[in-house]
Amino acid sequence: MHELRERIPTRKPGVSLSDIAYTETKLQALFPTQYKELVQLVNQAEIDEWILYPIKDNQRLAKTSDDIIRNNELIDLSDFPERYIAIAEDGTGDLLCYVVGEQNQMSETIYYYNHKSNEMEPFYENLASMIVELLEE
């Protein structure tokens, strides 16, 4: 993720492993490795039109109050048989999500939720491929 970090224009600092662990506990789900690596480098990254929800940062509470926990409490994805965790939005109501699998582990695959059609589909193989595709040099 370090080499891909340079492609992301967002200059916000990353979060600690303890902040990530707290968020996982609250969501009752474990983030994939690439996601954890990225948020340790940059919190609330903007990747093209997608803005990743921030992880609540105990050192910057005011700037991360609209965090991933709060957003997932407000979003209703209960129409789907799988459990999804929204990680990003594009400002139109569309979302990027991870599906929660066995042992509460989120998949590396990123899913696209279209709010108009209420459909969910696999969109990116993983976070690294998303960054490469959207932020090609």
Tell the residue number behind the tokens 């976070």, with chain if given.
127
What pTM did the predictor assign? 0.92
Are the beta carbons of 84 and 100 closer than 8 angstroms? yes
Question: For residue range 62-82, what is the model confidence (pLDDT) as tens digits?
Answer: 666 789 999 999 999 988 989
Q: Give the whole-angstrom CA distance, residue 104 versus residue 26.
A: 12
Angle at 112 between CA 107 and CA 113, to 5 degrees: 115
Question: For residue range 6-32, what is the model confidence (pLDDT) as tens digits?
Answer: 888 888 899 999 999 999 999 999 999
Q: What is the CA radius of gyration of the chain?
A: 14
Q: Give domain 2-134's CATH architecture.
A: 3-Layer(aba) Sandwich (3.40)
What's the number of CA atoms in the CB half-sphere (13 Å) around residue 49? 7
Question: For residue range 78-136, what is the model confidence (pLDDT) as tens digits?
Answer: 889 899 999 999 999 999 999 999 999 999 999 999 999 999 999 999 999 999 999 88
Look up residue 87 and give its two tokens. 């990680």
Domain ranges of the chain: 2-134
Look up residue 129 and give its two tokens. 């491929």
